[in-house]
Amino acid sequence: MTDTWNGRYWDLPWSLVDGCTPCSPGCDHCWSAGIAHRFYREGEPGHCMGILTDDNGRFNGDIITHPERLSIPLKRRKPTVYAVWNDLFHEAVPDDFIDQVFNEIGFHAIHYTFLILSKRPQRMAEYFKRLQTVASHPRNPFPNVWSGLTVCNQQEADEKMPVFLQVPGKKFLSIEPMLGPMDLTDLGPVKENDAHGWSCLWDTPLRSRIDAVILGGETGPGARPMHPDWVRSVRDQCTVSNIPFFFKEWGKHRPGLKDLWGVDYERRLKLMPDRYEIMNAGRLLDGRTHDELPWVKS
Ligand code: SF4
């Protein structure tokens, strides 16, 4: 069972793609360039040294796929929820490689669960649409796949959700880092890519569109704050629509500095830096955690 105390909604990462390029305001403080540069400096075996970052540590735009890691899930015996990193639907990831990933997921690793998060719903929707026409992929939609869209504000949701909703199968929304208030109930009609093009309109309730919502604030240097009312609003929208809601963390900026027992936050933080930050202040919303994950079986 996935251990969510630290805000993780998956068990293990499945790192198939190194590198990524920004495509959203939420990417402003992305860690992928930093990770690529760290591996570059440390000379991690299997990483192509010097390819992912320039001499100043800036990501240089090269994307590297790792076919040698495709069989990793099969090495685990117990049920595992894998989060696929980085953006599998980045423009530079070849279709052939994505085909290999879904062959693995759909035929060999069918007993594991995969969360596939992207900020590029156009390619994701087009890929799954193409799969539907391929006879060798009878599992599409894949019963063990949850497709996720990451957005950071209303504008991004308005632009990307109509396309994302065309992806078949189970879907979740990841609002990370949350950078503004969001109304998920007003996303407009779903555009469906039917035989005649992007023309068919459906207006369906939120519940039938999205199966879960994950929400979190920004972490790390330069993190932007998240207003508690933005979080409450999305939580309440999920409650009304009966959608599982998982509150990952406040991020670097936490509202209110008292913990469950009324003890000063800063004092506690000095006593138990890492664990306290996440467990007792970092994930509480109105005095409790919100840990609903439909893919986690208790
Ligand atoms: S899509 Fe994700 S991994 Fe890629 S640049 Fe943006 S935040 Fe980083």
Q: Does residue 90 belong to any structural domain of this protein?
A: yes
Task: Say what the pLDDT of residue 280 is.
Answer: 43
Q: How many CB atoms lie within 10 A of CB 253?
A: 13
Question: Does 100 share its domain with 178?
Answer: yes
Question: Does 48 share its domain with 83?
Answer: no
Instruction: Indicate the top mutation candidate among 16, 17, 21, 91 to test ligand 1's pocket, ranked by most ligand atoms within 8 A of CB.
Output: 21
Question: Does 210 share its domain with 261?
Answer: yes
Q: Does residue 3 belong to any structural domain of this protein?
A: no
Question: Does 102 share its domain with 58?
Answer: no
User: For residue 24, which atom of ligand 1 is closest to its CA?
Assistant: 6
pLDDT beyond 60 at 220 = yes
pTM of the model: 0.83
> Higher confidence at residue 57 or residue 48?
57
Q: Does residue 180 belong to any structural domain of this protein?
A: yes
Q: Does residue 2 belong to any structural domain of this protein?
A: no
pLDDT beyond 70 at 161 = yes
Question: Does 23 share its domain with 158?
Answer: no
Question: How many whole angstroms separate alpha carbon 80 and alpha carbon 297?
Answer: 11
User: For residue 26, which atom of ligand 1 is closest to its CA?
Assistant: 7
Question: Does 83 share its domain with 54?
Answer: no
Question: How many whole angstroms separate alpha carbon 16 and alpha carbon 88?
Answer: 8
Q: Does residue 27 belong to any structural domain of this protein?
A: yes
pLDDT beyond 50 at 203 = no
Task: Say what the pLDDT of residue 298 is.
Answer: 56
Instruction: Indicate the top mutation candidate among 23, 60, 179, 219 to test ligand 1's pocket, ranked by most ligand atoms within 8 A of CB.
Output: 23
| Mean pLDDT, rounded, for 241-267 | 70
Question: Does 92 share its domain with 32?
Answer: no
pLDDT digits (tens, 9 = 90+) for 54-90: 766 667 778 889 999 999 888 888 889 999 988 999 9
Question: Does 106 share its domain with 229?
Answer: yes
Task: Say what the pLDDT of residue 200 is.
Answer: 37
Task: Say what the pLDDT of residue 164 is.
Answer: 92
Q: How far is the CA of 190 from the centre of ligand 1 (A)?
A: 25
Task: Say what the pLDDT of residue 274 is.
Answer: 44
Asked if 89 and 99 count as a contact pair (C-beta separation under 8 A), the reply is: no
| Protein residue closest via CA to atom 2 of ligand 1 | 27
Q: Does residue 276 belong to any structural domain of this protein?
A: yes
Question: Does 42 share its domain with 144?
Answer: no
Instruction: Indicate the top mutation candidate among 37, 87, 88, 164 to test ligand 1's pocket, ranked by most ligand atoms within 8 A of CB.
Output: 87
Task: Say what the pLDDT of residue 5 is.
Answer: 74
| Mean pLDDT, rounded, for 144-152 | 97
Indicate the number of domains in the chain: 2
pLDDT beyond 90 at 227 = no
- Residues with C-beta less than 6 Å from any ligand 1 atom: 20-23, 27, 30, 32, 86-87, 119
Q: Which domain holds residue 91?
A: 71-281
Query: What are the backbone angles phi and psi of residue 219, rounded to the nearest 5°?
Result: -120, 170
Query: What are the backbone angles phi and psi of residue 150, rounded to the nearest 5°?
Result: -100, 125
Point out which residues pair with 86 in neighbouring strands: none
Q: Does residue 7 belong to any structural domain of this protein?
A: no
Question: Does 112 share its domain with 219?
Answer: yes
| Protein residue closest via CA to atom 7 of ligand 1 | 27
Q: How far is the CA of 27 from the centre of ligand 1 (A)?
A: 5
Q: How far is the CA of 178 from the centre of ligand 1 (A)?
A: 14
User: For residue 119, which atom of ligand 1 is closest to its CA?
Assistant: 1
Q: How far is the CA of 20 from the centre of ligand 1 (A)?
A: 6
Question: Does 184 share its domain with 105?
Answer: yes
Q: How far is the CA of 29 from the centre of ligand 1 (A)?
A: 9
Asked if 209 and 248 count as a contact pair (C-beta separation under 8 A), the reply is: no
Question: Does 48 share its domain with 180?
Answer: no
| Protein residue closest via CA to atom 5 of ligand 1 | 22
